[in-house]
Structures are given as structure tokens and as C-alpha cells.
Structure 1
Amino acid sequence: MVDKTLDDNNVKGVEYARELAEAEHGLQGDSVGVTRTLTIAIAIMWSLFQLSIASWLIMDTLYIRAFHLAFAILLVFLNVPMMKGNPKWRPDLRFLMIMNRVTILDYILGILAAFAALYIFIDYDGISMRYGAPTTRDILFGLMLVGLLLEATRRVIGPALPVIAILFCMYAFLGPYMPDVIAFKGVSLNRFIGQMSMSSEGIYGIPLDVSATIVFLFVLFGTMLEKAGAGHFFIQLALCILGGFKGGPAKAAILGSGLTGMVSGSSIANIVTTGTFTIPLMKKVGYPATKAGAIEVAASTDGQLAPPIMGAAAFIIAEYVNVPYIEVVKAAAVPAFASYAALLYISHIEASKLGLSGIPRAELPKFIPTLMSGLHFLLPLGMLLYELIALRHSPELAAFRAILVLMGIMLLQKPIRAKLAGQPLLPAILQSVKDIFLSMAEGARNMAGVAMATAAAGIIVGVVALGLGGLITQIIDVLSGGNIFLMLVITAMASLLIGMGLPTTATYIVMASLTAPAIVSIGGLQGFLVPLMAAHLFCFYFGILADDTPPVGLAAYAAAAIAEAPPIQTGLQGFMYDIRTAILPFMFIFNHDLILHNVDSWPQGLLIFGMACVGNFAFASATQGWFIAKNRFYEIPILLTITMVMFRPDLISRLVGLPYDMRYWVYPVGLILWGVMWVIQRPRQQKADAALA
């Protein structure tokens, strides 16, 4: 009965959502003939190269970045035409219609771009000897790389990032002619090219390094896991556990999206994977289309926050902050899981408002058979966690070994099923091998957009490194009037604005390069000690939240297409659900306990997590207008007080004169107020239940 809901879904909406997911990565998958074969071959070669450098192939890190960029940029030019769609051209310009498909010109541009990317590898000895004094040939190849990289990025993720990069490049040259407030001494062409294409501080900088060494393997792991069937397993398992409760499909969507989002790293891809199944189920039990889509949007967007496998930007945080990745996981754990717990709570509130029940248990898949059918998918995840947490191995080594386990599962599962069904083994084995190679190709194709985003963002980082960093801090200080609170609001709004046109990773890189050091320095000037990790996570969170921010949030468009709902209303509803996530960065900037800064005790960590959940529940009740019954206006201040007590015990303890070490003693106050709210609303809940009965 549950599976039948898939047949009732809007097929066109699902296809549109898939197109958005493909557009996020940049590769449309519509190439045919020789181009398709060549694309698959190059993508498989790229995956094999990445697996090799994670295991046996030893190369200089700059060479790895160059080859990574060359593979990615070549794939983009072979897959994404210069112009998309089929516009109605003027009769005298009709010959330009050829630009909406890949042509020989794109082949030529792709080869030139790949060669320009590899130029630093081809002539490394010469470049290293003349750094700072590039020759005419160096300048020619450098300009070619910058230009073709920006064009490839435009094709992949749209014009926003290239335009921002071009503005930064113009600023680097025109700085002396700017108004005094933003005046900059400027750079020469030689210095610019040396920084961008002849060093590891521009295009070949830290973002591209993380993309080449770590992110690729995790994207490949997520793609292969989905290809093996884990996404469907996670959804079925979530339905078994939560489907029978009030608003069960929504809760199952949240759990399933969280499990899938941990490995997909993409909110839109997560919606396409899980939403095609969960959104119709939510509508079936009574959720309006807009709210069904919005819940999936909120769940899938927050998947990038969930440890242990977060979005690509999380690995870049580790490099920027110069800490092991496990420290990023530790810092993100409490806010991420408290955010998911609050979303489950919101789904319960919505079900209570609408008077919904769950799916009858008879219509749900059985737990034990479902668990046993996909138990093997937990092995590669277990290997990954064991490598990261227990053995403390590097993320790339952990991902590589998890991929090996996953390959073994993919190689064996179909032959075993064929054997049990009495079918011939050879076709099953051949299909398994084919699935492995096709998933490797798909993983590489999914990486093209990330690689372009990190390389193009490297141009912005490189310009900032030319000497703009201190100036940007001064400008932000002037804009915010030296007020840390106003500066955080400006940073959040700028992240949401820029994130409308950029992928999460690029948004984070741009905003972290510009504002993270400023947050730390300005906070210090005002007496607030802001850990660098907190500043980077602040930019990371708001870069992710841009995915569902109207009017351009692509995640909302994807979910709305599946739900057959208006996209703007879906985005607005999703943003209302995500407000409970948006307050978390403002809280952990000042309360470092929330990111477990200098917290090494499990009991202390669990206490902080539990109280953060209560605080988030209270804030969700205040913003959603419901606790256990509909709120009255005078109850909202009580709920907001609970929120502040649970999120900022340090502030409350300081206000009442308690020393910092006794800050946790204010938690009972919040719990008492929580109980008071329950007592106040309980009669109204009983009256409402009696009316429904």
C-alpha cells in the first residue's frame, strides 16, 4: 500500500526536481553517442585517479589539485553547452542556436582548459624558479585558465559566482581609484597571475585541495551508496520506526532525509532521493502540499549539518581552522542534532494542529524484515565511523576504506540474490561490475560542480590574500559600527543573499574568507572571545539555509515540484521551519558550550545537548504558535524565556550574579517554566481532544 503512493506522484514534478538536482552539479546527463561514451570514460578515469591518490599513488599536492581541476573542467565543457534551453533567436542570429548543444568548439575549449589547468604540472620546475616574474607564456596560460574556469563555472552553477569573482578581480586592479573608505593599493598583472595560477594561494588553494583529496571520495561514497539501494532502505526503515506515530510520514521523512543527507551532501539531491517517496505519503495522511514539501525541504537542507558526514564545506572548515575533521564533527554535533530533534517536534506540532494520525501499522513494512534486507548497508557506514572516530584516521583514508567495503557489497549483493532465487550468476556478476563502474562515473559527474565552485572561489580567496583581508575587516567594522550583534546580522543576511545564487560550498568559502576573521577580531575588541570554529560554523550554517530561502531557494523549487505546490509558499513555509536552525549560530557564537568548545566530558556534553533540545522546542513552539495547544499571546514570552535560559545559561547566570562555573544551575528554571506551560495549556488540550472525539 505504501509503495503505491509513488504511482500517484506527479511524474513531471519529479522530473523537474531531478533536473534541478542535476543542475546543482552542472552535468545534465543528456549527452549521446561519442560524447556520452567519452564522458563516462573520463569520469571513470577521474574516479580511479582519486582512489589511487588515496591509496597507492604518491603525488605532490599541487599536482593532485591540477589533475583534479583538469578532469572537472574537461567534463563540464563536454557536458554543458554554452547556452541552455531553446530560445527563439532573431532570424539573422539563428546560426547561434548551435550553442545550446555541445559542439566541436566545446571540445576545443575543454582541451585548452584542461591543458591550462595542467600547465603548472607540465612546467612546474620553471614556474617555481620564476615565481613573481612570470613570462609572457605564463601570463597567457594564466589568463586562459582564469577565463575558461569562470566560463565553466558559469555553465555549471550559473553566473553569480563568476560575476562575484570578476568584481573581485576588477577591484584588485582598480583599488587605487576607489573611494578612500574602500581604496586599495592594487596589484600588477604579473602579481595577479602569479597569485592565481602559479601558486597555491589562488585557484590551486585550500578549497580546491579539500575538493581533490577529501570531498571527491565522500561524494563518490554517497553516490555509490545510493546506487546500491541504501536510500530506499533508509526511508523504509524510517517508516517502520516512525510511520505509525502522529504525523508519522513527516517524521519518517525527517529521519530518512537525515540519514541520506549525511552521505549525499546535497539538499536538492536529497529531496529527489527521499522526497519522491515521503512527500506523497505526507499528503496521503493529510498534510497540505505546501507543508509536505516544506518539511522535506527543511529535513534535506539540514542533512548537510548532520555529523559524521557533513557537506563539502565542513572539510574546508577543518583546513581553514587547522584542526582534525573529527573536531569539526564534535563542534557541529549538538547544534545539528538539536535542530533535527526540533524539526521532529515541529512535525508533531503540525500533525496536532491538523488533527492527523499516522499510517496504520498494517500498511507499514515490517521492521525486522526491512532491517535485515538492508543491514549490509550499515557495514560501510560503520567502517567509516570506526575509521574516523575510533582509529582517528584521516577523512580521505576513512572514505577510501569505506568505499572498498561498499564495492564489495555491490559486487556480492546481486549474485547472492540471484543464487537465492535460483537464477544464473554470471549476468548478476556482470551487472554488479557495471553498477560499480557506472556509480564511479556518476560520482565523478556529481563532483564537477563542487570542483568548479571551489576553484572559482579560490580566485576570490586569492584576491583577499593579496592584501584585502585587513581592509575588509575595517570595512565590515565601519558597516556594523563596531557592534558584534549587527555584524552577525549583516553576515547572516549576506550569506543568505549570496547563497541564493551559489552552492553551499562556494557561499561558505566566500563568506568565511570575508567575514570569519572579522567576526573573531571585532568580537575580541568588544570583549567577546569568539572561537574561530564558531565563526566558520556561523558562515556554514547560513550558507546552507540559503538553499530554501525565497525567492530563489532551489531546494524549495524541487520539493514544490514533487508536492505540486507553489514554490514561493513552500520556500516561505520551509524557512519558517528552519528559523529554529537559524537562531543556533547566533547562540553558539556567544555560548561556546553549544559547539562543545573545551568540553571533553560525555555527561556534560549530553546535558548541553538535552537542554539545547528543550530550548529549541520552546523556540519552535513560539514561532509555530503551538505548544500542546494553540498559544495565547501572553505565553509566547514564556516560551522565549525558556529558549534564552536553555541556550544562554551563561548570560542568565551572569545577570543573577552566579559565577560562570555555576551556569548550569539555571537549567532547572527553564524546565520549571516548561512545566508551567504544560499546566497552563493542558486544559485547552483536553477540551480540544474531547471536541474531536
Structure 2
Amino acid sequence: MALDPMNTDGGLALARKLAEEEAGTGRAQRGVAKFVVSTVAVCWSLFQLSIASWLILDSWYIRAIHLAFAIFIVYASFPMFRKPRLGIRYWAATDRVPIMDWVLAVTAAIASLYVVLDYQGIVYRYGAPIPRDIFMGILLVVLLLEASRRTIGPALSVIATLFILYAFLGPYMPDVISFKGVSLNRFVGQMTMSTEGIYGIPLDVSATIVFLFVLFGSMLEKAGAGQFFIQLALSLLGGFKGGPAKAAILSSGLTGMVSGSSIANVVTTGTFTIPLMKRVGYPPKKAAALEVAASTDGQLAPPIMGAAAFIIAEYVNLPYIEVCKAAAIPAFASYAALLFISHLEASKLGLQGLPREELPPFFKTLLGGLQYLIPLAMLIYELVILRHTPQRSAFNAIWVLGLLMIVQPCVRAYKSKESVGAAFKKGLLDIIAALNAGARNMVSVAMATAAAGIIVGVVAMGLGGLINQVVDVLAGGNIYLLLGITALASLIIGMGLPTTATYIVMASLTAPAIVMVGGSYGFEVPLIAAHLFCFFFGILADDTPPVGLAAYAASAIAKSDPIRTGLQGFTYDIRTAILPFMFIFNHDLILYGISSWSQGLLIFAMACLGNFAFAAATQGWLITRNRIYEVPLLLGVTLIMMRPDVIAPRLGLDYAHRHWAYLVGLALFGFIYFLQKLRSPRQPA
């Protein structure tokens, strides 16, 4: 039987508002405005599907058209201000689109398309822009920064503006950070008339790959897969100790693979699971925090990771499947540890699961939703077995999902002896609605990648080497300090930026420096490891107080304090925070140079145990409350399981036999478990 969540209407409305603002529905559109914006959104989706199948265009055209669609929707969907300023309500109107915003929407779209409208001329005068080029370039930069501010807040626009100022004021800076500067012609040429600025790699990945995966997730949700994932997770895990929390983690992981947004994940799964966690005894703060941690880490889960993962593949010049391979052990070990943390919390609070008679039957639930696994299986088969490109894989999965969305209501109508024609019409309308939702969900990603392209472009003007030197000076040549600075900066910057933008900024600034500093001390840091390091901490910023929006959404549903929820969620996510530090030094964790399945599974199992030990140490509980002397022992287990290469020489083992050190970690973990078992109170049957 299906379970109904408790009454959380007020909090749910706030959480949905946060998700809608992130997805590009800041205005309650109606009438002509709703028709125009929805039509543009659907046309955008159709354009993206076309270039993935039959339409062949130059990559510059694709990026410009992609940006034009996105920026038009931004100005038509987001007011200039969230609240009236200086008593003027015009710029904060949420019930209509002011004339000025229509003008800005059209102007911004034309500025984005300028490289398409005068393509031959721009190519001919590359590097020598005329006054018209400069005017249109400056107009695009200004309107893009404003659109970014409206969509994802002021942080990215402010950072990009500082980089722009630095590009021009470099000669007047202190000697340590002085830079020869650039001319207006060079700046405009690089930013708006080349593929090394706004129209760079991040926007290309957004236009060619990310859109299709976001659309796939929107269609899957519209088809009803989200509710299926929740019911399936409850049927599997709901009856165990703290079962609703375990179900929340599993369903959030499944949903997060395709949603790409921690806030949307919280609203989708948390609406159902947070009330159930509260029902079995989890305090509101902890119920919300577990959902936040699970939803945030959903972007880590292969094979369908967040938008930044596709950009990583482009930056490090690796097939996407190799990025998934590198992220697999850290992601799944992190999720396994979160399941363990939910078990520890249930043990500390003395909680049980939901009664079995209240849970949906597993096989009935699985059989009732098997159709949702077909497009997912198709996507994984295309990516992993056939090794097709992400674009082709996503496109093939989308048309399979489209067929499902048409056939499914027709079959249900036939079984219930209702009108098949009406069901067919409903299926088509659902597809159109999904095309609309997918485009709106892409707005923030498109703005983030385009605006971050300004920062990447400034760095490409010659600042890259200087930044490496400055970062090296700040870190004093210490790789550990450099990693700490990178992690802290990612968390701080990520408070105001989406994951993708945080990753692009930090990868542009610090990933090369991590590789360089490591190399200068004779320590190899694979480029993929440095980029994954930035990616992981960009994701963790989503639940970092005081601006972790995922925590705000979850606390609204749970009716808990958002700051305390964020802090609690971050304590749960500490186990994810240690993983990047570990795989920078132990490349086994990202399967770098590992091709054996048996060796990979061994590394994964030991990484899980290491994460379990770390979770037990930080949560103060294994099977009973920890004693003070057991905490360093648990941390020792973590070190052995995560870094056997450090322990092996002390045991007289060479690097090739480092994995034998795992036996010491297993013995120590077993010893701690035995100690706690002796003093744990017997539980009645």
C-alpha cells in the first residue's frame, strides 16, 4: 500500500518555491507571457533534440543559440528584484512581465546570436573587432551578468566582475599579483568573438550534453518514476531500524542520478521521506539533515552525474565513462557510509522501522514500475556497453522514454476501460510539459556555464601561470595546505553558486596548481583527481551554512531551523569531505591504473569499511557509545583502509603488496567491535 506523508503544506510550499526559483520559474506567468515563455522553452528542447539527431550545425552556432534561448527565458521569468526597492514594485513584479523585461529578453537574445548573424564577418576580422563588435560584446557581457544575478544570485556575477576589473587593472596591482592587463579590443574579442570566453567549453557541454540529461530527468519525473523510486526504496528498507531514513537515502540516490539538482531532489523525495522519518522518531533537524546529505550527494552517483561531470570529461580530455569510473568508488562508498550513519542515528535514538503491513509490497511495487527502468537500462547500456557518446546515449534513452510516456497511459486506460484516445492525448501533453520543464530546469545551468566562461576567459588571457604562482606562494609549496585552501575556497564560493559554476571557477584557478605543486615535489597528482577534488567540494557547498539552499528546502519541509539543519547535514557529509583528500594521494580510490574487477571490488569494500570507521568516530557510536580511546583507533582504521600505501612500508611491505595492509585494518576494526559488543546492553527480542 502507498504511504501518505504528514501535513507539511506550509513548508512544502516554501521548498517548492526555492526549487522553482532555481529552475527558472520566478514569476507566476499567465496569459500571453505563459504561452510565449512555454513555447520558447519547448522550442529550445526540440532544438536540442534536433542537434543530437539530424541537425548539423557549427559548434559556435549551437552555443550561441543555446545561450539565446536561455537568456530570453531568464528575462521573461525572473524579476529584477525579489522584493520592491525604493517603493517601486515594477521591477519586482511576479504576476506579469514588465515591458522593459520583454525588451531586455529580446535584446539579450539578439546579443547572444550576434556571432551567428554576422558569422562570416566575425571570422574574417578575428582579433580586430570593429566598433559594432565591441558594442555588441559589451552589451552581451552586461546582460549576461545581470541574467546570472537574477537566476543564481549575485555571487557569480560579482566574481566575474572582479575578474574583468582585474584584467584591465592588472598593471596597477601590487607586484605579487600584477598583470600586464588587456585592451578593450582583446577583451571583447576573447570573451564574445571566440570560443575561449563566454562561448567556451562549459557552455558547449551545457548545449550538447547536459541539456539532454536534464531533459531525460524531467521526462522521467513526469512519467512518474520519482514516486516509484520512493515506494521501491520504502518496500526494501522501510522495515529496518530507522527504515525511512535508509529509504530516503536510497531514493535520493536514485533520483539524484538524473535530477542534477540537490534542491529539486530534496523537494521530490523529502516531501515524502522527511515526515516518515519524523514519524518513527528522528528529530526534525536530523530528518532534514539526512535528506539534505542524501540529495546533495546524488550528483556524485554514476552513471548519470551532475552537469559538472561532463565538463570534467572535456577539461581532462577523457571519455565520460572514464570520469564515471574514477568517481564510482568515492561516490558509492560515500552513500554506503551515509546509510551506516542513518543506522547509527537510529541506534542512538533507539528507533525502529515502519510496520511491515504499512509498507508497499516489494515485488508488486517492482513489477508495477519496471517500465521506468527500461529507459534507464537503455541509457546505461548505451554508455557502458556500447560506449556511445553521452549525446547519442541520452537521445536514444529519451525517445524510448517518450514512447513509454505515450504507451503507459494508453495501457492503463485500456485496462480500466477508459478512452484510449484521451489517454494518448494526455501522454502527448505530458511530453510537451516535460519538454517545457526540462528547458526551464536548464536555465540556471546555462547561465552558470556562460557566466563562468568569463572567468575562464580571463584566466586564459595569460593569468593561468600567475595564478599558479600566487596559489603556490599562499600554500608555501605545501600540497596539504594547498588542498585545504582549495577545499575552503570551494565551500565559501559554493555558498552562492550552483555546483557547476563552483567547479568551473575552482578548477580554472586551482586544479592546475594542485598538479603543478604535487609535481614540483616529485608527487604525481593525476589531472582527473585534481578536478574531482574541486567537484566534490563544490557539491558539498550545497549544504554548507549559512547559505546552503538544500538545507533551507529540507528545513522548510521538516519545520526545523535551517542553520542547525545545515550544520547537522555538514557533520553527516564530513565522511564525503575526507574522500577527496584520500584519493589525491591514494589513486587506487579513483581506479587510476586499476583494470582488474577483483582488485576494484576489494578497494571498494575496504573504502566502505574505512568510511564506516570514520562515521563511527565522528558520530560517537559504533554498536554502543564510543569510549575516548576508541576514537583514535577508529580513525586509525580509516587511515589504513583509505591509505594502505602509508601503512604498508611500516609492515615491511613494498608498494606492490600494499593491499595486505588491509588485514591490519580489519583486525583493528574487529577488535573495536568486540570491545563494544562486550559492554553493549542486550536488546529484548
Distance 2:427 2:94 in 1: 38
CA contact (8 A) 1:67 1:118 kept: yes
Task: Give the letter aligned to residue 214 of structure 1.
Answer: I
2:30 is matched with which residue? Answer: 32
**Aligned counterparts of 1:157 and 1:678: Cα–Cα separation in 2:** 47
Partner-residue secondary structure (3-state), 2:198: coil
Q: What do residues 320-365 of structure 1 show as CA deviations (whole Å, max 9, x unaligned)?
A: 0000000000000000000000000000000100111111111100
Q: Which residue is 2:673 aligned to?
A: 678
When residues 530 and 13 of structure 1 are mapped into structure 2, their CA distance, relative to the original with a 3 A threshold, is same
Cα distance in 1 between the residues matched to 2:120 and 2:172: 37
Distance 1:573 1:461 in 2: 34
Q: Is the counterpart of residue 172 in structure 1 residue 167 in structure 2? A: yes
User: What is the Cα deviation at residue 657 of structure 1?
Assistant: 3.7
Deviation at 1:10, TM superposition (A): 1.6
Instruction: Trace 1:427-576 onto structure 2 (pairs within 5 A).
Output: 427-576=422-571
CA drift at 1:129 = 1.1
* Equivalent in 581, 584, 588 of residue 579 of structure 2: 584
Aligned amino acid, residue 446 of structure 2: A
Q: Find the counterpart in structure 2 of residue 217 from structure 1.
A: 212
Shift of 1:227: 0.5
Per the TM alignment, residue 21 of structure 1 is displaced from its structure 2 partner at its CA by: 1.1
Name the counterpart of 2:203.
208
What one-letter code is carried by the residue in structure 2 that aligns with 1:69?
A: L
Please give the per-residue CA displacement for 1:595-642, whole angstroms capped at 9, x wherever unaligned.
000101100000000000000000000000001110000000110000
3-state SS in 2 of match to 1:633: coil
Contact 2:241–2:353 (CA<8 Å) still a contact in 1? yes
Map residues 64-103 of structure 1 onto 2, 5 A cutoff.
Answer: 64-86=62-84, 89-90=86-87, 101-103=96-98
C-alpha distance in structure 2 between counterparts of 1:118 and 1:630, whole Å: 63
- The aligned amino acid for 2:325 is K
**Contact 1:80-1:101 at 8 Å conserved across structures:** no
Distance change >3 Å, CA 48–CA 309, structure 1 → 2? same
What is the aligned counterpart of 1:190 among 185, 191, 207?
Answer: 185
In the aligned structure 1, how far is the partner of 2:320 from the partner of 2:25? 29
Deviations 1:622-674 (A, max 9, x none): 00000111000000011000000000001111344421101001000000001
Cα drift, residue 96 of structure 1: 5.8
Q: Distance in 2 between matches of 1:433 and 1:651?
A: 59
CA shift at 1:83, angstroms?
Answer: 1.4
Per-residue deviation, 1:27: 2.7
Q: 1:99 to 1:406 in 2, by over 3 A?
A: closer
> Paired residue for 1:276, among 268, 271, 276?
271
Does the C-alpha gap of structure 1 residues 369 and 98 become closer, same or farther in structure 2, counting only changes over 3 Å? closer
Deviation of residue 95 (structure 1)?
Answer: 6.4
Identify which of 2, 16, 20 aligns with 2:18. Answer: 20
Distance 2:523 2:95 in 1: 53
CA offsets 1:233-269 (integer angstroms, 9 cap, x no match): 0000000111111110000000000000000011100
Matched, 1:248 2:246: no
C-alpha distance in 2 between matches for 1:584 and 1:593: 12
Tell me the amino acid that sits aligned with residue 38 of structure 1. Answer: V
1:623 aligned partner: 618
Q: Does 1:347 align with 2:342?
A: yes
User: Is 1:399 matched up with 2:397?
Assistant: no
CA distance in 1 between counterparts of 2:191 and 2:118 reads 16
**1:263, 1:310 within 8 Å by CA — same for their partners in 2?**
yes
Q: Distance in 1 between matches of 2:95 and 2:149?
A: 14
Query: Structure 1 residues 35 and 94, CA, compared in 2 at 3 Å: closer, same or farther?
Result: closer
Distance in structure 2 (CA, Å) of the matches to 1:97 and 1:392? 48
What per-residue deviation string (whole Å, max 9, x for no partner) do you get for residues 67-101 of structure 1?
Answer: 000000001111111112345x44xx576666985
Residues 345-400 of structure 1, C-alpha deviations (whole Å, 9 max, x = no match): 00000010011111111110011111111100000000000000000000010000
User: Is the contact made by 2:79 and 2:91 (CA closer than 8 Å) also made in structure 1?
Assistant: no
Cα distance in structure 1, aligned partners of 2:333 and 2:489: 25
User: 1:413-453 deviations in whole A, cap 9, x for unaligned?
Assistant: 11110110011111111111000011101100110110000
For residues 487 and 282 of structure 2, the distance between their equivalents in structure 1, rounded to whole angstroms, comes to: 31
**Contact preservation (8 Å) 1:492, 1:542:** yes
Give the partner amino acid of 2:280.
V
- Secondary structure of 2:525 counterpart: coil
CA distance in 1, matches of 2:56, 2:165: 38
Residue-pair matches, total: 685
Secondary structure (helix, strand or coil) at the match of 2:241 reads: coil
Q: Structure 1: which amino acid aligns with 2:54?
A: W
Cα distance in 2 for partners of 1:169, 1:221 equals 36
* Alpha-carbon separation, structure 1, partners of 2:463 and 2:418: 66
How large is the RMSD of aligned CA atoms in angstroms?
1.2
- Matching residue within 663, 666, 689 for 2:683: 689
The CA distance in 2 between the partners of 1:212 and 1:252, in whole Å, is 34
**Structure 2, gaps ≥5 residues long:** none
* 1:689 positional shift: 2.7
Aligned partners of 1:386, 1:355: CA distance in 2, in Å? Answer: 43
* CA contact 2:640–2:665 (8 Å) conserved in 1: yes
Q: Which amino acid aligns with 1:689?
A: Q
Bigger drift between 532-541 and 101-110 goes to 101-110
Cα distance between partner residues in 2 of 1:301 and 1:425: 40
Return the offset for 1:31. 1.1
Gaps of 5+ in 1: none
CA distance in 1, matches of 2:44, 2:498: 22
TM-score of the superposed pair, with normalisation by structure 2: 0.99
Instruction: Give CA deviations for 1:253-299 in whole Å, capped at 9, x if unaligned.
Output: 00000000000011100000000000000001111100000000000
> Could you tell me how far apart the structure 2 residues matched to 1:149 and 1:393 are?
34
CA contact (8 A) 1:453 1:505 kept: yes
Specify the SS of the correspondent of 2:683: helix
Q: Match of 1:321?
A: 316
Query: Following TM superposition, by how much is the alpha carbon of 1:310 offset from its aligned partner in structure 2, in angstroms?
Result: 0.4
Does 2:47 align with 1:53?
Answer: no
Deviation at 1:102, TM superposition (A): 2.1
Within 2, Cα distance between the matches of 1:431 and 1:462? Answer: 46
Query: Shift of residue 526 of structure 1?
Result: 1.6
Distance 1:95 1:400, change over 3 A: closer
Q: Structure 2 CA distance, aligned partners of 1:568 and 1:147?
A: 34
CA distance in 2, matches of 1:546, 1:166: 22
Is the Cα contact below 8 Å between 1:82 and 1:99 reproduced in 2? no
The alignment status of 1:3 with 2:24, answered yes or no, reads no
* Secondary structure, aligned partner of 2:207: helix
Range with bigger deviation, 501-510 or 98-107? 98-107
Query: Is the deviation greater in 676-685 or in 540-549?
Result: 676-685
Residues in 2 aligned to 1:388 and 1:139: alpha-carbon distance in whole angstroms: 43
Within 2, Cα distance between the matches of 1:107 and 1:192?
28
Whether contact under 8 Å (1:132, 1:191) holds in the other structure is yes
Q: Say whether the 8 Å CA contact 1:116–1:145 is kept in structure 2.
A: yes
- Does the 8 A contact of 2:24 with 2:151 survive in 1? yes
d(CA) in 2 for partners of 1:268, 1:492: 22
Does structure 1 retain, via aligned residues, the 8 Å contact 2:26–2:79?
A: no
Q: Partner amino acid for 1:73?
A: I
Listed one character per residue, the Cα deviations across residues 40-77 of structure 1 (whole Å, up to 9, x for unaligned) are 10001000000000000000111100000000000111
Q: TM-score, normalised by structure 1?
A: 0.98
Counterpart of 1:665 (choices 651, 660, 679) is 660
